[in-house]
Amino acid sequence: MATSSTILTDSHLALPVKHLIKRAPLFVDACVSVKQAAQAMQDSRVGAMLIAGAPPAIVTDRDLRGRVLAVGLGPDTPVTQVMSRPLITIDSGAPAFAALRLMLDENIHHLPVVEEGKIIGVVSAPDLLLQQGHNPLYLRGIIENWDNSHAVNYGEEISTLVHTLLNSGLVAIHISKIVSSLNDALVKRLVALTIEKLGPAPTPFAWVVFGSEGRLEQTLLTDQDNALIFQDDSDTARFYFADLAKQVVAALIKAGFPPCAGNFMATHWCKPVATWRELFTDWIRLPKPQALLDAAIFFDFRSVAGTLALDTLEEIIGAAKSERRFLSHLARGALDFYPPLGFFNHLRSDNGKVDLKKGSIAPIVGLARVAALAAGSRERSTLARLDVARKSGLVLSAGDATALAEIFPSLFQLRVRAQLAALAAKTAVDHSVRLKDLSVLEQRHLKETFVIIKQIQNGIRAVWQLDQLA
Q: Within this chain, do residues 218 and 334 fall inside the same structural domain, yes or no?
A: no
Residue 323 banded pLDDT, cuts 50, 70, 90: very high
CATH number at residue 64: 3.10.580.10
Domain boundary among 128, 149, 179: 128
**pLDDT per residue as tens digits for the range 129-163:** 754 445 788 888 889 889 877 667 888 889 988 98
In this structure, the number of other CB atoms found within 10 A of the CB of residue 144 comes to 12
CA nearest 291: which of 342, 340, 330? 330
Q: Examine residue 150 and state whether it is found in any structural domain, yes or no.
A: no
Q: Within this chain, do residues 184 and 265 fall inside the same structural domain, yes or no?
A: yes
Mean pLDDT of 61-90: 92
pTM for the whole thing? 0.84
Q: Within this chain, do residues 114 and 241 fall inside the same structural domain, yes or no?
A: no
Q: What is the mean pLDDT of the chain?
A: 91
Run of H or E residues at 110: strand 110-115
Residue 470 banded pLDDT, cuts 50, 70, 90: low
Q: Examine residue 294 and state whether it is found in any structural domain, yes or no.
A: yes
Q: Within this chain, do residues 232 and 287 fall inside the same structural domain, yes or no?
A: yes
Q: Within this chain, do residues 263 and 299 fall inside the same structural domain, yes or no?
A: yes
CATH number at residue 433: 1.20.120
Domain boundary among 262, 289, 318: 318
Q: Within this chain, do residues 309 and 327 fall inside the same structural domain, yes or no?
A: no
Q: Which residues, listed in sequence order, are joined to residue 27 by a DSSP beta bridge?
A: 50
Q: Examine residue 9 and state whether it is found in any structural domain, yes or no.
A: no
CATH number at residue 201: 3.30.460.10
Q: Within this chain, do residues 354 and 254 fall inside the same structural domain, yes or no?
A: no
Domain boundary among 75, 96, 128: 128
Q: Within this chain, do residues 459 and 347 fall inside the same structural domain, yes or no?
A: yes
Q: Examine residue 154 and state whether it is found in any structural domain, yes or no.
A: no
**pLDDT per residue as tens digits for the range 295-320:** 999 999 999 999 999 999 999 999 99
Q: Within this chain, do residues 397 and 289 fall inside the same structural domain, yes or no?
A: no
**pLDDT per residue as tens digits for the range 196-207:** 999 999 999 999
Q: Within this chain, do residues 186 and 302 fall inside the same structural domain, yes or no?
A: yes
Q: Cα(467)–Cα(184) distance, rounded to whole angstroms?
A: 40
Query: How many C-alpha atoms does 138 have within 13 Å on its Cβ side?
Result: 19
Of the listed ranges 265-274, 294-303, 420-429, the least confidently predicted one is 420-429
Q: Examine residue 161 and state whether it is found in any structural domain, yes or no.
A: no
Q: Examine residue 39 and state whether it is found in any structural domain, yes or no.
A: yes
List the domain range (segments joined by +) for residue 242: 171-318
Tally of domains in the chain: 3
Q: Within this chain, do residues 439 and 411 fall inside the same structural domain, yes or no?
A: yes
Q: Examine residue 69 and state whether it is found in any structural domain, yes or no.
A: yes
- The DSSP code for 79 is G
The DSSP-derived string for 164-212 is HHHHTT--HHHHHHHHHHHHHHHHHHHHHHHHHHH-S-SS-EEEEE-HH
Model pLDDT, residue 151: 63
Kindly tell me if the per-residue pLDDT of 9 is higher than 80: no
Q: Within this chain, do residues 341 and 305 fall inside the same structural domain, yes or no?
A: no
Q: Examine residue 190 and state whether it is found in any structural domain, yes or no.
A: yes
- Residue 331 Rama label (left phi>0; alpha psi -120 to 50; beta): alpha
